[in-house]
Chains A and B, each alone.
Chain A
Amino acid sequence: MAEIYILWWRQMKRYIRTRSRIVGAIGQPILFLLALGYGLGSVYQRAGEGNYLHFLVPGVIVQTILFSGVFWGMQILFDKRFGFLKEMLVAPVSRLRILLGNALGGATIALLQGFFVLIIAYFFGFRPDNLSMLPLALLLMVMLSLALTSFGAGLASMVEDFQGFQAINNFLIFPLFFLSSALYPLTHAPHLLQLLASVNPLSYAVDGLRYSLITQSHFGIGKDLIVVSATLTVCIGFAVSRFNRLQA
């Protein structure tokens, strides 16, 4: 346990000491909420769909968890590049524990960032429909943070350099986000988008959060929970198998 704790502790220290990243990670969702939430809000309302800001908040929470989860999972890539990974890999601690400590640290950070968005949204006038559903929202956010940090750790174990990281961001993370139900309702979306969103696990996370925060759901909360849990399982399996093969 002590080993896992110290690995987690180190991630948290890193996070607290790199303030620019905290500012950036909070600035981006504010931008999304402001530009999209207010910019598209009136059009959305005129289309008879209701309050767009309320619709958008779960999507932006998922976006924040997506980007910071994958980023902090990919910390392993930075550690590889700057040598610190060797210090961890030659220690008499199993690979599984090293992965677990790092992933828990990354997931904690992603979860915190997701919370910040919720707090920021509060100041923009966002109110959850039903406070008793907050634990469900929390559960979904925890599962998503862990899943995406593991996913990032698995990816980081596969790529050699920062170019690989950029490619993953551009060709995997951005499409995952834009082709989910984060920004627009799927009900009236073109069939192709509906199809893509329905095979994208992020859509189910967004949908589940939307259900627990503003009681709107496209897929149904049961399906959402099943898909998010399955995603978590697959991501952890992926991270373990990739990290085990990693050579420093």
Chain B
Amino acid sequence: MYNTQLMSSKYAVVARDVVKTFGSIKAVDGVSFEVKPGEIFAFLGPNGAGKSTTIKMLTTMLRPSSGQLFLNGHDVVKEQAYARKSFGIVFQDPAVEEELTAYENMLFHAVLYGVPKVEQKPRIKQLLELVELWERRDSLVRTFSGGMRRRLEIARGLLHHPKILFLDEPTLGLDTQTRNILWAYVRKLSKNEGMTIFFTTHYLDEAEQVAQRIAIIDHGKIIATGTSKQLTDLTSTKNLEQAYLKLTGEGTRDEVSEDNNGLNVRGAMLNQRLR
């Protein structure tokens, strides 16, 4: 039908019939989508829909049970090292070292990603200034608020000049000011640097305002893809929130548990087995 490899090189991110099962649970069930270079792409869905599992597969943390994933035309599973150098990620849960200072966290990342030694300090300075943490560079991250940690993680995710930036619910728990700064900067990255942005969020207004294209996933399947306008037209609704609710239903979903928020289906299954 089509040559996946050839087709995938035109896009920044490609998923083809991706399936991920954990035991009998199908967390992701035949997902396919493409993201163009420089595009801001939002991935929406209720809790446990498969968003984080998809991001984990795209970022080499999980292997797909079947299907293919490409970043800039390179197979994520087969060319793991290439994939890892090409993306930056801000995780859903904080992933900073509390016993290191902000600067040391950045330095740790720079060395792991092979940033040349002469560039380490200027880049760290530039990014910490950008997220307004340069003044606090020598404070232990332990003393940082949630918002400051988020900002640090964003700066860190950009340190190795990734072509694609994954943001898994980046604004969770941030105040409005910080959210606005973050999205303004993300827009700038996409516009000026041609960086591809792939993010998930539960705030539909954010997706509506920021994302150029949106995919909605539910029960492990993509149920709609398009611009915010296309989605509202499709569902004959007024805004994205209404469209989203119409597509995914009004009922709430089982949060697997506070620690097992879809990120950790394996853990959740273990817990269930123990009960």
Q: How many A-B contacts if CB must be within 8 Å?
A: 70
Q: Which of B54-62, B183-191, B218-226, B232-240 contacts A (4 or more CB under 8 A)?
A: B54-62
Q: Which of A51-59, A79-87, A209-217, A234-242 contacts B (4 or more CB under 8 A)?
A: A79-87
Chain A residue nearest to B85 in the complex (CB): A92
Is B181's CB within 8 Å of the partner chain A?
no
Task: Point out the residue from B62, B99, B111 that lies within 8 Å of A17, measured CB to CB.
Answer: B99
Task: Point out the residue from B61, B96, B100 that lies within 8 Å of A247, measured CB to CB.
Answer: B61
Is B121's CB within 8 Å of the partner chain A?
no
**Residue pair B97, A89 in contact (C-beta under 8 Å):** no
User: Could you tell me the distance between the alpha carbons of A157 and B68 in the complex, rounded to whole angstroms?
Assistant: 27
Chain B residue nearest to A93 in the complex (CB): B112
Interface size class of chain A, counting residues whose CB lies under 8 Å from the partner chain: 20 to 34
Is A167's CB within 8 Å of the partner chain B?
no
Q: Which of A6-14, A37-45, A178-186 contacts B (4 or more CB under 8 A)?
A: A6-14
> Per-position contact with B for A69-96: 1 when CB-CB < 8 Å, else 0?
0000000000000111111111111000
User: Could you tell me the distance between the alpha carbons of A247 and B59 in the complex, rounded to whole angstroms?
Assistant: 12
Is B108's CB within 8 Å of the partner chain A?
yes
Is A130's CB within 8 Å of the partner chain B?
no
CB interface residues, B 54-112, toward A, < 8 Å: 56, 59-62, 81, 84-85, 89, 91, 93-100, 104, 107-109, 111-112
User: Could you tell me the distance between the alpha carbons of A84 and B59 in the complex, rounded to whole angstroms?
Assistant: 15
Is B37's CB within 8 Å of the partner chain A?
no
Chain B residue nearest to A85 in the complex (CB): B95
> Per-position contact with B for A1-27: 1 when CB-CB < 8 Å, else 0?
011011101100110011000000000
Q: Which residues of B contact A88 (CB under 8 A)?
A: 112
**Residue pair A6, B99 in contact (C-beta under 8 Å):** no
Is B113's CB within 8 Å of the partner chain A?
yes
Task: Point out the residue from B98, B109, B114 that lies within 8 Å of A82, measured CB to CB.
Answer: B98
A91/B113 contact (C-beta < 8 A), A17-B99, A18-B99, A84-B97 known: yes
A14/B62 contact (C-beta < 8 A), A91-B112, A93-B112 known: no
Is B172's CB within 8 Å of the partner chain A?
no
A248/B61 contact (C-beta < 8 A), A83-B91, A87-B95 known: yes
**Residue pair B97, A10 in contact (C-beta under 8 Å):** yes
Chain B residue nearest to A248 in the complex (CB): B61
Minimum CB–CB distance for B144 against chain A, Å: 14
Task: Point out the residue from A2, A89, A160 that lies within 8 Å of B111, measured CB to CB.
Answer: A2
**Residue pair A10, B100 in contact (C-beta under 8 Å):** yes
Chain B residue nearest to A14 in the complex (CB): B99
**Residue pair A17, B95 in contact (C-beta under 8 Å):** no
**Residue pair A90, B100 in contact (C-beta under 8 Å):** no
**Residue pair A92, B114 in contact (C-beta under 8 Å):** yes
**Residue pair B85, A84 in contact (C-beta under 8 Å):** no
**Residue pair B94, A83 in contact (C-beta under 8 Å):** yes
User: Could you tell me the distance between the alpha carbons of A240 and B112 in the complex, rounded to whole angstroms?
Assistant: 19
Q: Pick the most buried of A3, A84, A88, A93: most chain B CB atoms within 10 A of its CB.
A: A84
Is B140's CB within 8 Å of the partner chain A?
yes
Minimum CB–CB distance for A115 against chain B, Å: 23
Q: Pick the most buried of B62, B100, B107: most chain A CB atoms within 10 A of its CB.
A: B100
User: Could you tell me the distance between the alpha carbons of A164 and B64 in the complex, rounded to whole angstroms?
Assistant: 28
**Residue pair B113, A92 in contact (C-beta under 8 Å):** yes
**Residue pair B100, A6 in contact (C-beta under 8 Å):** no
Minimum CB–CB distance for B136 against chain A, Å: 17
User: Could you tell me the distance between the alpha carbons of A86 and B166 in the complex, rounded to whole angstroms?
Assistant: 14
Minimum CB–CB distance for A156 against chain B, Å: 15
User: Could you tell me the distance between the alpha carbons of A18 and B140 in the complex, rounded to whole angstroms?
Assistant: 12
**Residue pair A90, B84 in contact (C-beta under 8 Å):** yes
User: Could you tell me the distance between the alpha carbons of A6 and B99 in the complex, rounded to whole angstroms?
Assistant: 14
**Residue pair B93, A83 in contact (C-beta under 8 Å):** yes
User: Could you tell me the distance between the alpha carbons of A211 and B13 in the complex, rounded to whole angstroms?
Assistant: 62
**Residue pair B140, A17 in contact (C-beta under 8 Å):** yes
Interface residues of B (CB under 8 A from A): 56, 59-62, 81, 84-85, 89, 91, 93-100, 104, 107-109, 111-114, 140, 156, 266-267, 270
A-B contact pairs, 27 of them (CB 8 A): A6-B108, A6-B111, A10-B104, A13-B100, A13-B104, A17-B140, A83-B96, A84-B97, A86-B61, A86-B91, A87-B95, A87-B109, A87-B156, A88-B112, A89-B61, A90-B61, A90-B84, A92-B81, A92-B84, A92-B112, A92-B114, A93-B112, A160-B267, A160-B270, A247-B61, A247-B62, A248-B56
Which 4 residue pairs across A and B have the least CB separation, nearest first? Answer: A83-B95, A92-B84, A6-B111, A91-B112
